[in-house]
Amino acid sequence: MDRNFITYPKEKDALYRLLKVRLQGMADSTPDLIANLANMSALLNQAMTDINWVGFYLMKNGRLILGPFQGKPACVEIPAGQGVCGAAAERDEIVLVENVHEFPGHIACDSASQSEIVIPMHKDGEIFGVLDIDSPIIARFDEEDRRGLYELVLIFERWLETERDE
């Protein structure tokens, strides 16, 4: 029997409660940034339904650079302010887009993507990067996703404040 097999709840509140516990355990077990980002993207990819891309862009010299992710190959570099990720970083706010084709300046890395949510991440009060999740379904993300994913990012931000290995 696969000891790592987990059945994830369909109800979003229960799903995000479970993900918080799992993410905290992962973050507590390793001091490595890339390992934690990779595991977080893998965890979300495994647990969330109807998504086709999940990962991170990290801020470097005013640009978002592709970090660990799950999905098809993606845009490597996004200037601040461009696309949904760049808008979230520039505005320093969560951007939830029901239909990416209606978002001015949307950057289409995967033509199957129909909706997107991007959550900024901070370290020392500055934008560190963003968590980006795409779906092939219009209006896949809602306020429960906004709250749940924000709480997951807060766990990661607390880890960033104490991590030792960049």
Please, are residues 30 and 49 in contact by the beta-carbon 8 Å criterion?
no
C-beta separation of 66 from 75 below 8 A: yes
- Give pLDDT, residue 28: 86
- Residues in the chain predicted with pLDDT less than 70, given as ranges, are 1-5, 163-166
CA–CA separation, 56 vs 45, rounded Å? 12
Q: What is the pLDDT of residue 163?
A: 63
What is the reported pLDDT for 104?
A: 81
pLDDT score recorded for residue 109: 75
Q: Which residues contact 57 (CB under 8 A, 6 or more apart)?
A: 64, 65, 66, 67, 78, 85, 89, 129, 130, 132
pLDDT of residue 1: 42
Quote the pLDDT of residue 166.
47
**Sheet harboring 77-79: ordered strands across?**
77-79, 63-71, 53-60, 126-135, 115-123, 95-97
Q: Specify the pLDDT at position 3.
A: 54
- Confidence (pLDDT) at 165: 46
Alpha-carbon gap, residue 85 to 82, rounded angstroms = 7
pLDDT computed for residue 110 by the predictor = 72
* pLDDT at residue number 29: 86
CA 99 vs CA 59, 72, 146: distances in Å: 25, 20, 16
Cα–Cα distance for residue pair 97/86, rounded to 1 Å: 13
pLDDT in tens, 31-41: 899 999 999 99
Instruction: Transcribe 12-51 into DSSP letters.
Output: HHHHHHHHHHHHHHHHHH--BHHHHHHHHHHHHHHH-SS-
Q: What's the rounded Cα separation, in Å, for the pair 4 and 139?
A: 31
Q: H helices of 92-165, where?
A: 143-162
